[in-house]
Structure 1
């Protein structure tokens, strides 16, 4: 499922890149510009944009990857058996796997430490002992809990949504499940799940920006 999202994003990005022009942008390019401007605005609101400008491409990729991963689990998964189509529930979202969300969260914290050291040097480590060296255990625990909570928040919301969809599928008459794969009978729930997917991709990206921004400014605050 992760590879499906990656391939889709590569194709989507390549098509937008080829369609880019100095004139009036087409719909596909306009969508990319809206997303890039939106993420650029999030960065500018939370940090000195010049310091995090190099992360813009990563942050745009992050929010798009999480969004498409979240939405992927809403599509019906039709399996083929000896020439017959059989409803197999829904496709699994990559973000409904804790391994994926932990990897993304770990990368966020690693980037935060990197940028903290990049702009503050050795002084960055001073905030681990502020306002007193006795507070070091608390700061150390916070360093571990940030990626854990970040990962479990995304994983929990998406996984719970997929479980509920699977439960709802059991209440659909066999005929509808066989023909529709459970997609159309649950338009309302799917719309809500789409909303949750959008919100979670936004929250994860914003928290990534905030954590990196805090790391950049923490040394000065700790001193």
Structure 2
């Protein structure tokens, strides 16, 4: 239902945004300044709604269909995601390390979506850090593997940790950090579909770390090759 509704809402939103832009482009001398400001706010709102719908569609997609399990190199995916972030935001100097040898059993596409959200959040919430750092790694304990994404960004109050993974839940205002509040809900859905769990720890002003596990089968596959504590910066 949510997939169908979200899909059908995109066309009218594109029309509103398109006609708003057409008014600005076609009648630049006839629109008073206040009207232009109103149109700008209308377009900004429609674009925000379009992004919200797109994120809802992503959440619906990761909840549907079978999982195609195969051996996945999470370190390699993390490096690709970081590279894409650096290309989109070349002005930022962020120290990033992604460990080698982080292998798991899971759906490559879904696990990439999870890392895109987790690393993207770390990238976003370190925007105001003097020396931003992000680390993507894995911990082993008694044959079990826990993957993590750590940053030294805005952090959060641990009292609100349970709210992080709810759809539309935000611990920071949209004026501080952009977003729709659906990314972490998407990550949680992906992790749960892989039989794992996800949780977070943080402190305001000192950063956050998001941990997740995958199914036992994935942990056993990852344990077959030791995680090398070697990073790509």
TM-score, normalised with respect to structure 1: 0.26
> More helix by proportion, 1 or 2?
1
When you count strand as a share of all residues, which structure comes out higher? 2
> Which of the pair has more CA radius of gyration?
1
Per the normalisation by structure 2, the TM-score is 0.25
Higher relative contact order (CA 8 A, sep 6+): 1
